[in-house]
Every structure is written in C-alpha cells, then in structure tokens.
C-alpha cells in the first residue's frame, strides 16, 4: 500500500522537495501554488488534507504564526488521519498541536527517519 502524505507548513523554503526526494515510496500532496483568496486556499488545503492518509506538519523556527498548520492538523485529527508534527519553533502556543499529534518531533531529520519506516 502506498500512503499519501499532505505536507503542511511554511511556503518560504524548499523543505517539501527535501521530503519528496528522501521518501520516494510515498505519494505527496503539496499546497504550493499561491492563491490570494482565503476562501479558495482554505478549501483547497482542506480538500488535500481529506485526500491524505498522513499529514506531515512542519512548524519551522521562522514560521510567523502556524495558524494554517494548526487548522490543518486539527482537521486531519478530526478525520482520524495520522498527524506527524515537527515543531522547531519556540512558540509555546504550538504545544497544543504537538501534544495532540500522532507523533511529534523537534528535529526535521528525525521525523523523516520515522516516516520512512511507515
């Protein structure tokens, strides 16, 4: 069985490419096209979450808020999806997302190693 993984997180660096290159055994869903309208990108992102088996949520240290990531994680958990959170931020507000995740890490490379064992 091939798992489908939704890649939730910041849009400012190429972390998604790193995941895709490291884990070719998965199918990936990536919200990489920029959409200006909030209703459109929210609907698109939630559709992609519904289509995934696993959500890999990467909260980078320089992510300014993580609100979208938190929404995607909560939605995925409500749908019974596996949620893997990588929290490299210092934000105490991300603790609730981290604590509710199926798996949580503070190091991106360690999370990739864990996902590779799936």
Question: Domain holding 33: CATH number?
Answer: 3.40.50.450
Distances (CA, A) of 116 to 26, 34, 40: 9, 28, 32
Query: By residue range, what is the domain housing residue 50?
Result: 4-116
* Burial group, residue 52, by CB count within 10 angstroms (0-12, 13-18, 19+): buried
> Under a CB-based contact definition with an 8 Å cutoff, are residues 6 and 76 in contact?
yes
Rg (CA), the chain: 13
The predicted-structure confidence for 19-56, as pLDDT tens digits, reads as follows 999 999 999 999 877 788 989 999 999 999 999 999 99
pTM: 0.94
Q: For the chain, what is the domain count? A: 1
């Amino acid at each position: 069985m091939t798992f489908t993984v939704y890649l939730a997180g910041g849009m400012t660096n190429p972390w998604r490419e790193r995941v895709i290159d490291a884990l070719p055994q998965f199918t990936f869903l990536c919200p990489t096209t920029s959409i200006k309208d909030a209703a459109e990108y929210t609907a698109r992102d939630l559709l992609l979450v519904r289509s995934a088996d696993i959500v890999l949520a990467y909260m980078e240290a320089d992510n300014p808020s993580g609100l979208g990531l938190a929404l995607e994680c909560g939605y995925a958990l409500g749908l019974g999806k596996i949620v893997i959170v990588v929290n490299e931020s210092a934000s105490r507000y991300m603790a609730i997302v981290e604590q509710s995740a199926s798996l949580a890490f503070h190091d991106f490379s360690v999370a990739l190693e864990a996902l590779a064992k799936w």
